[in-house]
Structure 1
Amino acid sequence: MRYVILTGTSRGLGEAIATQLLQQGTKLISISRKQNEQLIEKAKHLHIPFDFYSFDLQEVHQIESLMENIFSNIDVKTVSSIHLVNNAGMLAPMKPIERSESEQLIANVHVNLVAPMLLSSAFMKHTKDWNVDKRIINISSGAGQKPYFGWGAYCTAKAGINMFTKCVAAEETDKGYPVKIISFAPGVVDTGMQTEIRETSKEDFIHVDRFLALKEDDHLLSPNYVAKAVIDLLETDNFQQGGVVRIDEQ
């Protein structure tokens, strides 16, 4: 059976990925602050095993214990492949760095960068001797390669996750049972995060008009469309190890 550990399933892209995985009969392990009742009901209806772990990824010092708990409940004999999708993310603070509160900056980097690094590290430690297909998908952003006024923390963290992806790929080159890893920028997806962007003042985010226009002109990608692209990365033989790819490059 395919196992997928997925963060940020309470809404948006994470919820769409989770829904499609369940429909495919995947053993889904969800890490999210809030429980998604619709996913739980869908799993019951499909008679698919579904594990939910309520966890705030800002609590980075507890991530190793979380992964110990998760892997203690996995029977390796039932695993045909195992994947980690680091999807959870946050934009705040959306304002110039000089007006950003230290707590928000710390939370942003914890959720967007430190947590995926620790989850990936634990995933690799627990599966290092498993001779199965192992993949990590880091959900990144075009903001990781382009600076945006008011997104200093978010851009920095996403740039960091891109470099982290490249470093892990370099370290896995000569492994007997290597982990495949890629960083994936999903484009502008019609989720709650986009609503948050459109509600930001121009003083804090000078590009807000562009995002308002994207919504008005119906140029946002649907979560279901992007979720399918993510799942394709879990299945494709044409995997760009260590790559930083955009959805329009697939």
Structure 2
Amino acid sequence: MKYVIITGASRGLGEALTRQLLQEGHHLFCISRRKNETLLEEAQKKNVALEYFEYDLQNLDGLEKLMEHIFDQIDLSRAKTIALINNAGIVEPVKPIEKCPTDELTANIHVNLLAPMVLTSLFVKLADRFNGDKRIMNISSGAGKRAVHGWSAYCTSKAGLDLFTRCVGLEQEGQTNPVKVLSVAPGIIDTDMQTNIRSTQQEDFPDVERFIEYKVQGQLMSPAFVAEKLICLFFEEQWPQGGVVDIRDYL
């Protein structure tokens, strides 16, 4: 049995990733602010165990209890793989730093960086007694490698996620049964996040016209296409431990 925990699993790339994982022999634990009833119905038809935990990742204090509850449901005697996909993310606030409200900056760093850090910490600790395949995939962004006007929070959080991945990979190299960890930039995907970006005022985000052109010219990849490639990479036998990669290198 492959047990997979995935965050942000109700829409966008998270929904597409979850749909790709609706396979025989999988047990999915989905963490998101709301349930996706369509996915629940599909899982039932395919006889795949899928559980939703309606949870806001801005609330870091409750993550330990949540992860302990999830691990209590994992049968280690049946497990072949235990995995975590840190997918949830938000781009807001999209505006120069002096215009960014404190609560929006806090929410961005909590969801994009601190929640994956806490979940990874808990995953490594709780999975320590499991001797099988253990892996974590962090969904990052190309924005973590370059400065973007108006994206100070998003760029910073994704850059932090990439370096965090490298650190955990380094720590795990010396373990007898290491957790494999990888950070992946998924490219530009046609999701609600892109819709929000295109609706931003140009004075706050000077590159908005370029993102509008991505949509007009059909340059956005579909969530289903990217999810398929990510899941193929996710289950590869060999990973660059602590690697930071771009999914477009695997297309």
TM over 0.5: yes
- Indicate if the aligned counterparts of 1:81 and 1:132 stay in contact, CA closer than 8 A: yes
2:210 aligned with 1:207: no
- Counterpart code for 1:43: A
TM-score, reference length from structure 1: 0.98
In 2, the alpha carbon distance for the partners of 1:175 and 1:101 equals: 42
Matched residue SS, 2:134: strand
Please give the secondary structure, in 2, of the residue aligned with 1:193. helix
Aligned to 1:232: 232
Deviation at 1:24, TM superposition (A): 5.0
**Structure 1: distance between partners of 2:199 and 2:107:** 21
1: CA distance, partners of 2:237 / 2:71 = 26
Q: After superposition, what is the alpha-carbon deviation per residue over 1:158-206, rounded to whole angstroms, capped at 9, x for unaligned?
A: 0000000000000001101100001000000000000000000101111
The whole-number CA distance in structure 2 between the counterparts of 1:138 and 1:102 is: 25
Does residue 245 (structure 1) correspond to residue 245 (structure 2)? The answer is: yes
In the alignment, what sits opposite 2:171?
A: 171
Cα distance in structure 1, aligned partners of 2:240 and 2:225: 20
Unpaired segments of 5 or more residues in structure 2?
none
State the identity as a percent: 50
Task: Tell me the amino acid that sits aligned with residue 222 of structure 2.
Answer: S
Following TM superposition, by how much is the alpha carbon of 1:233 offset from its aligned partner in structure 2, in angstroms? 2.1
Task: Provide the residue aligned with 1:123 in structure 2.
Answer: 123
One-letter identity of the residue aligned with 1:102: T
Letter of the structure 2 residue corresponding to residue 170 of structure 1: L
Task: Name which of structure 1's ranges 196-205 and 232-241 shifts more when overlaid on structure 2.
Answer: 232-241
Q: What is the identity, as a one-letter code, of the residue corresponding to 1:83?
A: A
Q: Is the 8 A contact 2:3 2:74 kept in 1?
A: no
Offset at residue 23 of structure 1 (A): 3.5
Q: What's the secondary structure of 1:22's corresponding residue?
A: coil
- Any idea what SS the aligned residue of 1:76 has? coil
Cα shift readout 1:99-151 (whole Å, capped 9, x = no counterpart):
10000000100000000000011010011121111110000000000110000
* Secondary structure, counterpart of 1:85 in structure 2: strand
How far apart, in 1, do the equivalents of 2:201 and 2:122 lie? Answer: 39
Task: Please say which of residues 155-164 and 76-85 is displaced more in the overlay.
Answer: 76-85
Provide the C-alpha distance between the structure 1 equivalents of 2:217 and 2:209, rounded to a whole number of angstroms: 12
RMSD: 0.9
In 2, Cα distance between the equivalents of 1:100 and 1:23? 42
The superposition leaves residues 60-117 of structure 1 with CA deviations (integer Å, 9 ceiling, x where unpaired) of: 1111111011111211112110110000000111101101000000010000000000
Higher deviation after alignment, 21-30 or 97-106: 21-30
TM-score (norm 2): 0.98
Q: Deviations over 1:12-41 (max 9, x none)?
A: 100000011014542111000011001110
Q: Which amino acid aligns with 2:215?
A: K
- Alignment correspondent of 1:152: 152
